[in-house]
Amino acid sequence: LMAEKGGYRHFMLKEIYEQPRALADTLAGRIREEQGDVYLEDLALSDEELGGVAKLNIVACGTSWHAALVGKFLIEKLARLPVEVDIASEFRYRDPIITPDTLTLLISQSGETADTLAGLREAKGKGGKVVAICNVLDSSIARESHGVIYTHAGPEIGVASTKAFTTQLVALVLFALKLARVRGLLDADGCRALTDELVKLPRKIEEALEQDEAIEEVARLYMNASDFLYLGRGNQYPIALEGALKLKEISYIHAEGYPAGEMKHGPIALIDENLPVVVLLPNNDTREKVISNMQEVRARAGKVIAVTDHDDPLVRDNADQVLVFPSTCDDLMPVILSVPMQLLAYHIAVLKGTDVDQPRNLAKSVTVE
Ligand code: G6P
């Protein structure tokens, strides 16, 4: 079994460390450097069909739903196409509006999640086009979709999704670029600006993994907390949700992800000296607003763990711990800051002695409703 785990103590850790390779595989053969375009071999929709799409629904469960939330930011920003995101178990019963120019995108690691598959059938049954982002080749969702973008992350055994998630994010970037090119909203140079950063991502994830020990130290400090709050804004809000989900799933500590700007409308009441607050702090336009949230937490004796790509006295003065990661363009920062979310949850779970790869009550793939 140790051999299967490639010398790692758990599949989850192995899969976290496989991310540089997995992300490179998601990108392989899909960037057309010369044309400044991307190529998605199994998408099956012509440029004309893609160009005729008026609205996109993204439907998924669990971690894949968090990827969908990031996808909304990417696609609306780059391709200016309206995107609605649904949890599959809600979508399937809410009589969603599907017209012939609606495209529905299912995201599923396994391609077998019952609610997501039902969402696919709902959209297809109403005459809409459907495409899927899947990891497992030839899975039900991949087979029943008109087109598919495989993530090529390789088998994911740990119940808590890691490399499947970050490769979904990269597949969404590729899809957003494709839509933006087809819709005439991005020229070849604009596309290359982002694909050049994509190509550097595997190396940057390797660098991010070098913070493993620093993250383990933070895990030791807070492993006995009974609740965690995760804050992020914009495209980091879904990463806050994902960080909280990872912690819940494998360490059984209650955790909540919140949009940082919404803290004042509720979660601020929970803050005291026993509450660690993980703050996603990319170096972007909202940085100072998020730092003021950190000040609000500390003014109430809460503990701030800042996760950032830009270390300066302003962060140091307003955080108890600072974890620093490589920078990239803002659209790709969710991929980089996912790594500390995974490792923090992993180390806390290991320190608590839980069954990391097979947490209680959870299944890798939920194939029944
Ligand atoms: C289960 C797994 C999660 C996963 C979710 C959706 O709950 O434990 O890790 O995110 O299903 O799975 P899917 O295969 O559709 O991405």
Does 1 or 70 have the greater pLDDT score? 70
The model's pLDDT over 232-284, given as tens digits with 9 standing for 90+, comes to 999 999 999 999 999 999 999 999 999 999 999 999 999 999 999 999 999 99
109 lines ligand 1 (CB under 6 A): yes
If you write DSSP's letter for every residue of 338-365 in order, what string do you get? HHHHHHHHHHHHHHHT--SSS-TT--SS
Contact 26, 198 (CB under 8 A): no
Contact 229, 278 (CB under 8 A): yes
User: For residue 1, is pLDDT > 80?
Assistant: no
Q: Look at residue 94 in the predicted model and tell me its pLDDT.
A: 96
The model's pLDDT over 311-365, given as tens digits with 9 standing for 90+, comes to 999 999 999 999 999 999 999 999 999 999 999 999 999 999 999 999 999 999 9
The model's pLDDT over 134-152, given as tens digits with 9 standing for 90+, comes to 999 999 999 999 999 999 9
Strands 83-87, 37-38: parallel, antiparallel or unpaired by DSSP? unpaired
Q: How far apart are the first and last CA of the chain?
A: 32
User: For residue 129, is pLDDT > 80?
Assistant: yes
Q: Among the atoms of ligand 1, which is closest to the Cα of residue 164?
A: 16
Q: Please, is 210 exposed, middle or buried when counting C-beta atoms within 10 Å of its C-beta (0-12, 13-18, 19+)?
A: exposed
Residue identified by tokens 């190396």 is: 203
How open is the CA angle 79-84-88, to the nearest 5 degrees?
130
151 lines ligand 1 (CB under 6 A): no
* Distance (Å) from CA 158 to ligand 1 centroid: 11
The model's pLDDT over 171-198, given as tens digits with 9 standing for 90+, comes to 999 999 999 999 999 999 999 999 999 9
The model's pLDDT over 47-90, given as tens digits with 9 standing for 90+, comes to 999 999 999 999 999 999 999 999 999 999 999 999 999 999 99
Q: Look at residue 315 in the predicted model and tell me its pLDDT.
A: 98
Pairwise CA distance, residues 17 & 15, whole Å: 5
Contact 215, 313 (CB under 8 A): no
User: For residue 285, is pLDDT > 90?
Assistant: yes
Q: In the chain, which ranges are continuous DSSP H helix?
A: 11-17, 19-27, 47-51, 62-79, 88-91, 114-125, 140-144, 163-182, 188-209, 212-222, 237-251, 287-299, 313-317, 333-352
The model's pLDDT over 215-234, given as tens digits with 9 standing for 90+, comes to 999 999 999 999 999 999 99
Q: Look at residue 283 in the predicted model and tell me its pLDDT.
A: 98
Atom 8 in ligand 1: residue holding the nearest Cα? 364
Pairwise CA distance, residues 342 & 219, whole Å: 11
Q: Which of 12, 86, 105, 110 to mutate to test the pocket of ligand 1 (most atoms within 8 A of CB)?
A: 110
In sequence order, what are the residues at sequence separation of 6 or more whose Cβ sits closer than 8 angstroms to the Cβ of residue 236? 280, 282, 333, 334, 337
2 confidence band (pLDDT: 50, 70, 90): confident
Catalytic residues: 364
* Distance (Å) from CA 113 to ligand 1 centroid: 7
